[in-house]
Structure 1
Amino acid sequence: MDPESIPGVGPKTAAALADIDDPERALREGDVAAIAAAPEITPARAARIARSAIQARHDESGDVLATDRATEIHRSILDLLQSRAVTDAGRQHLRTLYPSTARSRIDSVRERVERAIDREYPDDLSSDLAAVHPRAEAATVRVRERCLATGDAERYAAATERFPEISVETVADARELADLAEGYATVIALDRAFGGLDIEGDVRVRPDALDDPVAVVPERVLATFGANRDALRAAIAVHRRVGLDPPCDLDALDAALDQIDADGSVRPGAEIERLERAIEGFDDAVGAAEQTATDHLRAAIEDRDVTIEGADLLSLAERGAGVDTVLERELGDAFDAAVSAGRSAIVDRLDLESRADRVDRALPDEPTYPIAFEESVLADLRAELRAARDRRRLERTREVARELAPFREAIDPLLDAALAVDVDRAIARFAAEYDCTMPEIEGAGTEGSGIDIVGGRNPLLPEAPGGVDPVDYTVAGVRLLSGVNSGGKTSTLDLIATVTILAQMGLPVPADRVRTPIVPSINYYGKHRGTLDAGAFESTLREFETLIDDAGQGALVLVDELESITEPGASARIVAGICEALADRETTAVFVSHLAREIREETTIEIQVDGIQAVGLDDGDLVVERSPVEGVLARSTPELIVEKLADETDRAFYDRLLGKFEAASGD
């Protein structure tokens, strides 16, 4: 799919979309999260682009929502759905749902909705869903303790391009390679010519390294999984709890993720932790071991009496011998025991049994007091421990990266499937809370056949879902809907618009049963506030002219008290003319009006009047039958009040007034 073939996508946006992975797939599938990953495209705009792409794929050029009020109803429906989603991505995806005229689009959504409604969702699934998000981009990785080395210019250029995370150095010979080994913990030589050289340090000859990024920069893989670790683990939980078919081995991925932290760093493992403890405690352990050895020797000396004959003392003095010679001759065994105690102390404390021979080399050969270990040997041992730790850390980093690398292709499918559950669950919750059912959508060629609603419950009312009075209403052709103030006329228009929009979105409707054709446009004109001035009145008439000229057969027209635009007498004639024109177009239309009688009298064709009946007063409050009665002009509130007063008294005044209403209804 060419991005610029999508309405609303120009060259600049198309260039931005080219920066994401597989933009054609993202547009084809309406993947809001993937589209939003493009530079300078917000999630809201991504949703609009995705919706346009879906419309283009189903060859839809028009917008069913032809008026502001119809658009408001659609937005309110989306608000109801989005309020039941947990994730931002789920809410944005719900914005791609729109009333369609393409049966293929409607049916594809219906199939998904039916599966969503049939699925069971654990009550506490929200906590898992809340941690799921689309793939996050990892922070830029920079590795400073490792480098690549080569003497080949082409290989240098290739390595620099492929591995921007690490330094690539040029070397001409073994000496320069050895120099690099002094400055880097690990050097990876790319040239086969360096094989077999004995160079001190961690120098690895890997001619195939350019084809093995995990060996060179395992941090790249780890950074990606670290940035998405919590989301992936939450997605794994969603898959398990909902019973989704996973794109990979969830147990293996979960175990691998358990080895890294959120920043992508690898959890050390037992060997690295042992080496870390040895390095961190090295100086203290050496000091304690020397003190232990010295204390042992002091105790031995204090426990023994050393007697030196005069001749022996003179002999020692003549040879320049010191006290250490005396100690060696008289306390050699005790010194050896003391040194052994110090050795055991350092080996046991630092867990250095595997390097005990290196500790032995640090022990003093000649008796001294106090006992001190050989510092140069200890420094070498300390450096050796650090090098061993670094090597093991790199080995473990590579091991974990190799465990995770096979799951890279599963990241997006795993996250997307969990986010789809959020969308499905939101729809299922809406359907359950409003006791919805799937509407019957008539096929092509049934335009103008009308809309049949049984037990419809307007979800846009402020009442709780279970507290809305159900409405039955069948609309075909052009109707006038009469009724008392606050009787539910506007709510009935909202219900008709809502179930039609929901049905053409492919979604369930809040009703016991709904049958509707696919209407090409929904034209809902809300109630005007007050009489319009001449300019606004002219503009309103032009809107209806455009509607009548452009609307194809089968359009849905809903109009709320159009008579308020001008004087009652003139407005009745204008509405009558509009109704006649719409009837010629075989349009389904409902006009709410308090002038239903006057409008009917002005028409030259038969226009049915339906009424939302008030059946009485209860302590001053109207008792209303919410379902319109077909072919019946509803009585007004004043008539009900006059009737009530006439029944309660025998005054002729009220009888006279009531007679006026009865005479009007008989005309």
Structure 2
Amino acid sequence: MDLESIPGVGEKTARALSELDDPEQALRAGDVAALATAPGISQGRAARIARGAIRHDHDDPGGFLATDRAREIYREVLSLLTERTVTDYAAQRVETFYPSSQRSRIEQVQTFAREAIARDPAPAVLDALTGVEPLATPGDVRVRERCLATTDAERYAAAREAIPELSVEIVEDAQGLAELARGYSTVIALDESFAGVTVEGDVQVRPDALEHPAEIVPERPLAFFARNRDRITAAIAVHRAADLDPPSDCDIDALEDGLSRLEADGTVAGDDELDRLTVAVDDLDAAVGTAETVANDHLREAIREEDVTIEGSDLLSLVERGAGVDSLLSRELADEFAAAVAAAREHLIDALDLDSGEAEVARRTFGDEPTFPVERDEDATARLREDLTATKERRAGTLKRDLAADLADQRAGARDLVRNALELDVELAVARFADEFGCTMPTFVPAADERAAGFDIEAGRSPLLDEPLADIDPVDYDVSGVTLLSGVNSGGKTSLLDLVASVVVLAHMGLPVPAEHARLRRFDDLHYHAKTQGTLDAGAFESTVREFADLAQGGEGSLVLVDELESITEPGASAKIIAGILEALAANGATAVFVSHLADEIREMADFDVTVDGIEAVGLVDGELEVNRSPVKDHLARSTPELIVEKLATEASADGADAAGGTAAESARTNGGAETVSEPQFYDRLLEKFE
């Protein structure tokens, strides 16, 4: 696939995408998470690229949504899906669903949607999804206690490229290795010529090191899992809550066990020996200081309680030799000093929980030569710190290598695990949408039958109405060819157009539609013209007519929905213009529904037998219209004024019957002899005008 052939992908973006392991597969699958790992590609940008790639793959020219109102309907139904996602990923992923005229794309999404609506969006699954995010790339890893060493300049360059996490040093001989070993916990010699060389410190000869970077730098795979530990753990919870089969290359139990042994900073958790060494290194200075206090407190108490007697000759001898209190301690309090030092040593060993080998080094921290106050031997303390640190690092390195070996083979499986959890969120959003709006999968007529077909919706409920589903009256409506839709004000004509548009848009997205049954042709595009607010000026009027002229020239396969086009100009002219538009659309084989209060006038002016359907008001109840929301086929609906006049006539007739008794003569007398029209007669004559 030529990446730059994808709509919206230029040279710079193509370079970024080419850094992915398999950009073509990610593009074909609409894998927003994978695309978003490319340098400089956000999730929103990834969704747009994925949509362009899908169009390219299905040879889809786009342009299904041909008007602003059609695009608004799409954004509104898409937002209903987005609102039912849990993760940011799924919210971006649903952006890859778009209405298409291509059968292959529709069928592809339908396959996905049929599986999706069978999912159970259980609360436990939705709760587990809150912790799932696309996997992140860890930052640069730097390991300072280890280094690589080589005598060869070419190998030096290769090592820096293969294992950038470690310092690479050039040495000339074994002496150079020895010097490095004094500054690093571990030195890895890359040259086979160093085999058999004995050097103090942890020096490993690994000519194959560059071929096994995970063994040399286990921090590399561990950094990935540490950075994504919570995300992977959440994905595991999702799979268990939803009872999903894990990817074939993923052992969930082993992965979970490995993650439980890993700290957020990439260190290994749960090892008592490493914990002991870490505490010993961290607490060394404090423990030595306390040990000094123990020794001095012990010695001070001994001196305070000891009754020391020195003969004059002995005192003179000590002074002549320049001796001080140390000599006095050595001579008179040797046992007490030894006991004080022993107490200090034991305190240090116990406080740091040192093993026998470490204890021998620790004892050197306090010398045997009597002094007061007792002080640590700084060189011995430094040596103890170095030994403990080196032991800790070796232990940590061993544990890291073991854990990295356990987790290294799980990386691809972990990626699939998280991706599947994120995709499940997309499926559950579709399932929740379908359940909450009473949706079903629509049926498309075969290609051979498309020209004679339009749409047939049974028990449809518009998802765009701001009312509970149970409070929305179900609507049945089917149209083939060109139809005028009449009806009373506030009878639901616009809501019906919105329902039709929603069904058609969702069906062409490959998704379930808000109806008990829906059958339709595969349309090429949707032209939905919303009601115009007020009469248009000459320029706007001309532009509107031009739009319909273009549609009339190539409208076959189009669905045209128009809401009260007559408002663009004077009623008489509007009826003529709409009649002409309908004639052109009918000739082209388009499917169209025009809502109009001028249906009777338009029907008279059209040169073909245009169908007129009506949303019929069955009466007025407490001043409110009672409406049959499903249009009656081939029926011009009565207007609201007609219903009101009919109601007044009925009421007046009833009142007149109750008050009967007046005579024509009386009427004539009260009106100068002229015959008057009674109230019931007045209303009856008005009703006749509507016939």
TM-score, normalised relative to structure 2: 0.88
1:488 matches 2:488: no
Q: Measured at CA, do residues 629 and 299 of structure 1 come closer, stay the same or move farther in structure 2, by a change above 3 Å?
A: same
Deviates more, 1:503-512 or 1:630-639: 503-512
2:262 maps to a residue whose letter is I
1:90 equivalent in structure 2:
90
Displacement of 1:335 in angstroms is: 5.8
SS at match of 1:118: coil
SS at match of 2:12: helix
Determine if contact 1:642/1:654 at 8 Å carries over to the other structure: no
SS at match of 2:123: coil
Residue 499 of structure 1 is aligned with which of 497, 503, 510?
A: 503
Deviates more, 1:38-47 or 1:537-546: 38-47
- The residue correspondences of 1:158-237 to structure 2 (distance < 5 A) are 158-237=158-237
Displacement of 1:320 in angstroms is: 11
Displacement of 1:545 in angstroms is: 1.8
Deviates more, 1:607-616 or 1:169-178: 169-178
1:422 matches 2:416: no
Determine if contact 1:2/1:24 at 8 Å carries over to the other structure: no
Residue 588 of structure 1 is aligned with which of 584, 587, 591?
A: 591
Residue 445 of structure 2 is aligned with which of 422, 442, 445?
A: 442
- Identity, % of aligned positions: 57
1:269 matches 2:271: yes
Deviates more, 1:643-652 or 1:248-257: 643-652
2:436 maps to a residue whose letter is E
Q: Measured at CA, do residues 483 and 373 of structure 1 come closer, stay the same or move farther in structure 2, by a change above 3 Å?
A: closer
Determine if contact 1:16/1:39 at 8 Å carries over to the other structure: yes
Q: 1:42 & 1:550 partners in 2: Cα distance?
A: 39
Determine if contact 1:613/1:635 at 8 Å carries over to the other structure: yes
1:466 matches 2:470: yes
2:674 equivalent in structure 1:
none
Q: Measured at CA, do residues 544 and 372 of structure 1 come closer, stay the same or move farther in structure 2, by a change above 3 Å?
A: closer
2:632 equivalent in structure 1:
629
2:65 equivalent in structure 1:
65
Deviates more, 1:321-330 or 1:178-187: 321-330
SS at match of 2:139: coil
1:571 equivalent in structure 2:
574
1:527 matches 2:531: yes
1:637 maps to a residue whose letter is T
Determine if contact 2:652/2:679 at 8 Å carries over to the other structure: no
Which 5+ residue runs of structure 2 have no aligned equivalent? 654-676
1:127 equivalent in structure 2:
127
2:555 equivalent in structure 1:
551
2:511 maps to a residue whose letter is L
Instruction: Map Cα deviations across residues 517-575 of structure 1 (whole Å, 9 max, x no partner).
Output: 222222212112222222222222221121121223x4221111111222211211221
SS at match of 1:445: helix
SS at match of 1:472: strand
SS at match of 1:45: helix
Displacement of 1:33 in angstroms is: 2.5
Displacement of 1:485 in angstroms is: 0.9
Q: 1:362 & 1:150 partners in 2: Cα distance?
A: 37
1:281 equivalent in structure 2:
283
Determine if contact 1:268/1:393 at 8 Å carries over to the other structure: no
1:141 equivalent in structure 2:
141
Displacement of 1:639 in angstroms is: 0.8
Number of aligned positions between the proteins:
664
SS at match of 1:203: strand
Deviates more, 1:267-276 or 1:20-29: 267-276
Q: 1:653 & 1:619 partners in 2: Cα distance?
A: 22
Q: Measured at CA, do residues 644 and 139 of structure 1 come closer, stay the same or move farther in structure 2, by a change above 3 Å?
A: same
Q: 1:577 & 1:218 partners in 2: Cα distance?
A: 76
1:603 maps to a residue whose letter is A
CA RMSD of aligned residues (A): 2.9
Instruction: Map Cα deviations across residues 266-310 of structure 1 (whole Å, 9 max, x no partner).
Output: 447322321232233333433443554555567677888789999
Displacement of 1:422 in angstroms is: 1.0
1:252 equivalent in structure 2:
254
Q: 1:287 & 1:16 partners in 2: Cα distance?
A: 57
1:413 matches 2:451: no
1:169 maps to a residue whose letter is E
Determine if contact 1:452/1:474 at 8 Å carries over to the other structure: yes
1:22 equivalent in structure 2:
22
Residue 648 of structure 1 is aligned with which of 648, 651, 665?
A: 651
Q: Measured at CA, do residues 632 and 262 of structure 1 come closer, stay the same or move farther in structure 2, by a change above 3 Å?
A: same
Q: 1:62 & 1:319 partners in 2: Cα distance?
A: 106
Q: 1:285 & 1:37 partners in 2: Cα distance?
A: 48
Q: Measured at CA, do residues 528 and 350 of structure 1 come closer, stay the same or move farther in structure 2, by a change above 3 Å?
A: same
Q: 1:517 & 1:166 partners in 2: Cα distance?
A: 64
Q: 1:631 & 1:52 partners in 2: Cα distance?
A: 43
Deviates more, 1:33-42 or 1:518-527: 33-42
Q: 1:316 & 1:412 partners in 2: Cα distance?
A: 80
Q: Measured at CA, do residues 13 and 353 of structure 1 come closer, stay the same or move farther in structure 2, by a change above 3 Å?
A: closer
Q: Measured at CA, do residues 500 and 337 of structure 1 come closer, stay the same or move farther in structure 2, by a change above 3 Å?
A: same
Determine if contact 2:121/2:431 at 8 Å carries over to the other structure: no
2:68 maps to a residue whose letter is D
Displacement of 1:367 in angstroms is: 5.6
1:381 matches 2:374: no
Instruction: Map Cα deviations across residues 393-447 of structure 1 (whole Å, 9 max, x no partner).
Output: 3333333333322122123312211111111111111111112122222221121
2:541 equivalent in structure 1:
537
Q: 1:17 & 1:543 partners in 2: Cα distance?
A: 39
Displacement of 1:334 in angstroms is: 6.0
TM-score, normalised relative to structure 1: 0.92
Displacement of 1:382 in angstroms is: 2.5
Displacement of 1:95 in angstroms is: 0.9
Q: 1:337 & 1:596 partners in 2: Cα distance?
A: 114
Displacement of 1:492 in angstroms is: 0.7
1:456 equivalent in structure 2:
460
SS at match of 1:527: coil
Displacement of 1:605 in angstroms is: 1.5
Determine if contact 1:239/1:246 at 8 Å carries over to the other structure: yes
Determine if contact 1:135/1:411 at 8 Å carries over to the other structure: no
Determine if contact 2:274/2:392 at 8 Å carries over to the other structure: yes
SS at match of 2:148: strand
Determine if contact 1:639/1:658 at 8 Å carries over to the other structure: no
Determine if contact 2:646/2:687 at 8 Å carries over to the other structure: no
Displacement of 1:318 in angstroms is: 12
Displacement of 1:229 in angstroms is: 1.8
1:550 maps to a residue whose letter is G
2:670 equivalent in structure 1:
none
Q: 1:215 & 1:292 partners in 2: Cα distance?
A: 45
Deviates more, 1:262-271 or 1:508-517: 262-271
Displacement of 1:514 in angstroms is: 1.2
Determine if contact 2:645/2:686 at 8 Å carries over to the other structure: no
Deviates more, 1:142-151 or 1:331-340: 331-340
Q: Measured at CA, do residues 654 and 460 of structure 1 come closer, stay the same or move farther in structure 2, by a change above 3 Å?
A: farther
Q: Measured at CA, do residues 615 and 373 of structure 1 come closer, stay the same or move farther in structure 2, by a change above 3 Å?
A: closer
Instruction: Map Cα deviations across residues 306-349 of structure 1 (whole Å, 9 max, x no partner).
Output: 89999999999999999888877887666655544443222222
1:359 matches 2:362: yes
2:204 maps to a residue whose letter is R
Q: 1:404 & 1:368 partners in 2: Cα distance?
A: 55
Instruction: Map Cα deviations across residues 226-260 of structure 1 (whole Å, 9 max, x no partner).
Output: 22222111111111111112121112212222233
Q: Measured at CA, do residues 299 and 454 of structure 1 come closer, stay the same or move farther in structure 2, by a change above 3 Å?
A: same
Q: Measured at CA, do residues 466 and 546 of structure 1 come closer, stay the same or move farther in structure 2, by a change above 3 Å?
A: same
Displacement of 1:660 in angstroms is: 4.7
Determine if contact 2:527/2:561 at 8 Å carries over to the other structure: yes
2:668 equivalent in structure 1:
none
SS at match of 1:514: strand
Q: 2:326 & 2:585 partners in 1: Cα distance?
A: 121
1:262 maps to a residue whose letter is A
Displacement of 1:657 in angstroms is: 5.2
Determine if contact 2:141/2:223 at 8 Å carries over to the other structure: yes
1:258 maps to a residue whose letter is S
Q: Measured at CA, do residues 206 and 655 of structure 1 come closer, stay the same or move farther in structure 2, by a change above 3 Å?
A: farther
Q: Measured at CA, do residues 543 and 326 of structure 1 come closer, stay the same or move farther in structure 2, by a change above 3 Å?
A: closer
Q: 2:246 & 2:391 partners in 1: Cα distance?
A: 40
